[in-house]
Amino acid sequence: MTKKTWWKEAVIYQIYPRSFMDSNGDGIGDIKGITSRLDYLKYLGIDVIWLSPVYKSPNDDNGYDINDYQAIMDEFGTMEDFDELLAAAHERGIRIVMDLVVNHTSDEHKWFMESRKSKINEYRDYYIWREGKDPQTPPNNWGSCFGGSAWQYDQATDMYYLHLFSKKQPDLNWDNPKVRQEIFDMMAWWCDKGIDGFRMDVISMISKTKEMPDGEISGLYGNFEPYCVHGPNVHKYLQEMNEKVLSKYDIMTVGETSGVTTELAKQYAGEDTHELNMVFQFEHVESDGKYGKWTDRKIPLTTLKKILSRWQTELYNTAWNSLYWNNHDQPRAVSRFGDDRPEYRKISAKMLATCLHMMQGTPYIYQGEELGMTNYPFKDPEDFRDIESIQAYKEWCANGRISHEDFWPCLRFKSRDNARTPVQWDDTEQAGFTSGTPWIAVNPNYREINAKKETADPDSIFHYYKKLISLRKQNPIIVYGKYELLFKDSEDLFVYTRTLENKKLLVVCSFSDRETAFPIPEEFIGANCMISNTENTYDTQTVTLRPYEAFVLQKPDSPQ
In a 3-state reduction of DSSP, which class is residue 253? strand
Say which residues have a Cβ less than 8 Å from residue 389's Cβ, sequence separation at least 6: 381, 411, 415, 416, 417
> Of the two residues 165 and 446, which places its CB atom closer to ligand TEU in the complex?
165
CB of 187 to ligand TEU, least distance (A): 17
Decide if residue 225 touches ligand TEU (CB under 6 A): no
Which residues, 6+ apart, have CB-to-CB distance to 545 below 8 Å? 493, 508, 510, 515, 516, 517, 518, 536
Does position 201 bind ligand TEU by CB under 6 A?
A: yes
Cα–Cα dist 432/442, whole Å: 10
Which entry of Ca ion, ligand TEU, none binds 22, CB below 5 to 8 A by partner kind? Answer: Ca ion
- Determine the interface stretch with Ca ion among 14-22, 95-103, 185-193, 462-470 (rule: CB under 5 A): 14-22
Which listed option, ligand TEU, Ca ion, none, makes contact with residue 30 (CB within 5 to 8 Å by class)?
A: Ca ion
Binding site partner of 202, from ligand TEU, Ca ion, none, Cβ cut-off 5-8 A by kind:
ligand TEU
Q: How far apart are CA 203 and CA 422, in angstroms?
A: 28
- Residue 370 as a binder of Ca ion (CB under 5 A): the answer is no
Nearest approach in angstroms of CB 239 to ligand TEU is 22
DSSP character at residue 19? G
Give residues with Cβ within 8 angstroms of 302, minimum separation 6: 488, 489, 490, 491
Region of residue 155 (left: phi > 0; alpha: psi -120 to 50; beta: else):
alpha
Nearest distance, CB of residue 61 and ligand TEU, angstroms: 5
**75/33 Cα distance (integer angstroms):** 12
Q: In the complex with ligand TEU, which residue's Cβ is closer, 256 or 370?
A: 256
Judged by beta carbon distances under 5 to 8 A according to partner kind, the member of ligand TEU, Ca ion, none in contact with residue 24 is Ca ion
329 touches, from Ca ion, ligand TEU, none (C-beta below 5 to 8 Å by class) = ligand TEU
Of these partners, Ca ion, ligand TEU, none, which one is at the site of residue 5 (CB under 5 to 8 Å by kind)? none
Residue-wise burial string across 339-361, b where 16 or more C-beta atoms lie within 10 A, e elsewhere? bbeeebbbbbbbbbbbbbbbbbb
Residue 26 interacting partner from Ca ion, ligand TEU, none (CB closer than 5 to 8 Å by kind)? Ca ion
Between 116 and 328, whose beta carbon lies closer to ligand TEU?
Answer: 328
Q: Which does 408 bind (CB under 5 to 8 A by kind): ligand TEU, Ca ion, none?
A: none
Residue 520 is a binding residue for Ca ion (CB under 5 A): no
Which positions from 53 through 72 interact with ligand TEU, judged by CB under 6 A? 61, 64
DSSP bridge partners of 319: 270
The single residue among 10, 15, 28, 371 that binds Ca ion, judged by CB under 5 A, is 28
Active site residue 74: no
In sequence order, the β-bridge partners of residue 129 are 161
Q: How far is the CB of 328 from ligand TEU (least distance, A)?
A: 6
* Residue 101 within binding range of ligand TEU, rule CB under 6 A: yes
Query: Least distance to Ca ion from the beta carbon of 442, Å?
Result: 15
Q: Is residue 285 within 8 Å of 308, Cβ to Cβ?
A: no
Looking at beta carbons only, is 80 or 539 nearer to Ca ion? 80
Given the complex with ligand TEU, which of 396 and 518 has the nearer CB atom?
396
Cα–Cα distance between 355 and 552 in angstroms, integer? Answer: 9
Decide if 48 contacts 96 (C-beta within 8 A): yes
Listing DSSP states for 491-542 in one string gives: SSEEEEEEEETTEEEEEEEE--SS-EEEEPPGGGTTPEEEEESSS----SSE
Task: Write each residue from 11 to 50 as x if it is in contact with ligand TEU (CB under 6 A), else as -, in one continuous string.
Answer: ----------------------------------------
How many Cβ atoms sit within 10 Å of the Cβ of residue 445? 18
Residue of 7, 10, 22, 95 interacting with Ca ion (CB under 5 A): 22
Footprint on residues 251-310 left by ligand TEU (CB under 6 A): 256, 258, 293
Number of Cβ within a 10 Å radius of residue 526: 12
Contacts of range 151-158, beta carbons closer than 8 Å, 24 or more positions apart:
154/116, 156/116, 156/117, 156/118, 157/116, 157/117, 157/118, 157/119, 157/129
DSSP codes of every residue in 438-502? -SSPPPGGGGTS-HHHHHH-TTSHHHHHHHHHHHHHH-HHHHHPEEEEESTT-SSEEEEEEEETT
Q: Which of 60, 256, 275, 283 does the annotation list as catalytic?
A: 256
* Binding test (CB under 6 A) with ligand TEU, winner from 165, 425, 480, 494: 165
Pick one of 2, 5, 26, 83: the residue that binds Ca ion (CB under 5 A).
26
Closer CB to ligand TEU, residue 256 or residue 492?
Answer: 256
> Which partner in Ca ion, ligand TEU, none is near 145 (CB below 5 to 8 A by kind)?
ligand TEU
Closest CB 416 distance from ligand TEU, rounded Å = 6
- Number of residues forming the site for ligand TEU (CB under 6 A): 14
- If one asks whether residue 145 binds ligand TEU (CB under 6 A), the answer comes out as yes
Told to check if 24 binds Ca ion by CB under 5 A, we report: yes
CB 19 within 8 A of CB 420: yes
> From the DSSP assignment, how many helices (H) and strands (E) are in the chain?
19, 22
Least distance (Å) between residue 173 CB and ligand TEU: 17
Residue 81 in the binding site for ligand TEU (CB under 6 A): no
Q: Choosing among Ca ion, ligand TEU, none, which partner's interface includes residue 64 (Cβ < 5 to 8 Å by kind)?
A: ligand TEU
For ligand TEU, which residue of 56, 109, 124, 416 counts as binding (CB under 6 A)? 416
- Give the active site residue among 99, 201, 240, 386: 201
Q: Rounded to the nearest 5°, which phi and psi values hold at 531?
A: -160, 150
Quote the CA–CA distance of 152 and 164 in Å, as a whole number: 10
d(CA 259, CA 154): 30
Determine contact, residues 237/206, Cβ cutoff 8 Å: yes
- Active site annotation includes 201: yes
Q: How many CA atoms lie within 13 A of 190 on its CB side?
A: 25
Find the binder of ligand TEU among 159, 202, 307, 358 (CB under 6 A). Answer: 202
Q: Which residues bind Ca ion (CB under 5 A)?
A: 22, 24, 26, 28, 30
The residues annotated with a catalytic role in the active site are: 201, 256
Q: Which residues bind ligand TEU (CB under 6 A)?
A: 61, 64, 101, 145, 165, 201-202, 256, 258, 293, 328-329, 388, 416
